[in-house]
Each structure stands twice: as structure tokens, then as C-alpha cells.
Amino acid sequence: MRIGMLTGGGDCPGLNAVIRAVVRKGIGQYGHTIVGYRHGWRGPMQGESMDLSLGAVRGLLPRGGTILGTSRTNPYKVDDGPRRVLATLARDRVDALIAIGGEDTLGVALKLDGDGVKVVGVPKTIDNDLSGTDFTFGFHTAVQTATDAIETDEDPTAVSLRTRFATANARLKSWSSCPRTAPIARAVA
């Protein structure tokens, strides 16, 4: 079986780990061929593909980002986009496609499924705002990274008697917190 794979939308922790897992399991256990598409949906629209071998994913886990690249391209917003994607998948003899992404990327995957493409969607977003799943990969890492930054930051409030707020913004949500502040009972001269 020939499996295509792409990463779409914004960057997110864990993209390379998913790519590596698909390649290692697909080739190592099932003998599949994995075709990577560069820069999200732009790759299959423009015919930009690369073979993903075991060697291509060796040493990938500590690297951030995605070796495939990503973009916010939506073929359904481009004249002739879906036809070009289907033509590239046919050219590359892809039997199924793995789309790793958020709302827009998976929305395109759903439309292609309606056009007869066998698709697996992998929910990826730091916003954790996709229906059909409790958690998306990337969300916990983003929250933990923000938490670590807040907790390890020097605390200027202890000196200045001011309160500090931290806000983390996602696409449609934001969270605010008031981390530890200076003691209220501190005497002011």
C-alpha cells in the first residue's frame, strides 16, 4: 500500500513524532511505502512530494517543527485546487492519505473523503478546539511550556508589590492567570 502524508496549518509540538511513527510502523511492520507531501495541502496541489524512508526519520524525535513543512493552503479556496490534489495522488499512486492538522486541514480531508480519497485525520492543534476528540496532540505541550515559563520567570511582583497577569492566546480562546503575588501584609514605608 502507498500512503501519503502531510502536515497542515500552524506549527505544533509532536509533528515529527507522528511522521516518524507512521513511517516506522508503516514500513517496518506492514511493508507500506510512505510518500510525504511538502508544505501542507500546497504539496499535493503543486506535485511536491518526497519518499519517506526509515533513514529519513532517523534522529527526528528531538527536532522541532515538521520535516514536511506546513502551510495554511486550502485547495478548496483555489481554482482547480481539488482537481490538482486528486491528480497528484493518482500520479503518486497513493492508496490512502494521512492529514495531520487542525480544523482547516481536516476539513479539506473530509471533503476529499467525499471525493473518494481514503483519508485518516490526525487531530493537531495547540488550541484543543476540534470536535470529535477530547485532546489534540500539541495542546498539553503548549500548556506545559507556558506554565514552565510563568513558573520559572523572575517574580518582579515580590519587589514592586504589584500583581502580574499572564495570558496565553490561542486562535479562539485565551486563558489568564494571576500567578503568585507579593504578600498582601507587607508593610509599605
Q: Give the start-to-end residue ranges of the domains of the chain.
A: 2-142, 156-189
In angstroms, the CA 101 to CA 99 distance is 6
In angstroms, the CA 99 to CA 119 distance is 7
**What is the model's pLDDT at position 162?**
61
> Does 31 or 176 have the greater pLDDT score?
31
Average pLDDT over residues 128-157: 68
- From 100, 99, 137, select the one nearest 119 (Cα to Cα): 99
Q: Which DSSP string corresponds to 140-156?
A: HHHHHHHHHHHHHS--T
Q: Please report which confidence band the pLDDT of residue 168 belongs to, taking 50, 70 and 90 as the band edges.
A: low
Q: Which 3 state secondary structure label does DSSP give 23? A: helix
Q: Is the pLDDT of residue 56 over 50?
A: yes
Its pTM stands at 0.79
Question: Worst-scoring range by mean pLDDT, 67-81, 123-137, 166-180?
Answer: 166-180
Give the H or E element holding residue 159.
Answer: helix 157-160
Summarize pLDDT for 18-30 with one digit per residue, the tens.
999 999 999 999 9
Give catalytic residue positions.
127
**What is the model's pLDDT at position 182?**
44
User: What is the CATH class of 2-142?
Assistant: alpha beta
> Does 128 or 118 have the greater pLDDT score?
118
> What nine digits make up the cell of 46?
503543486
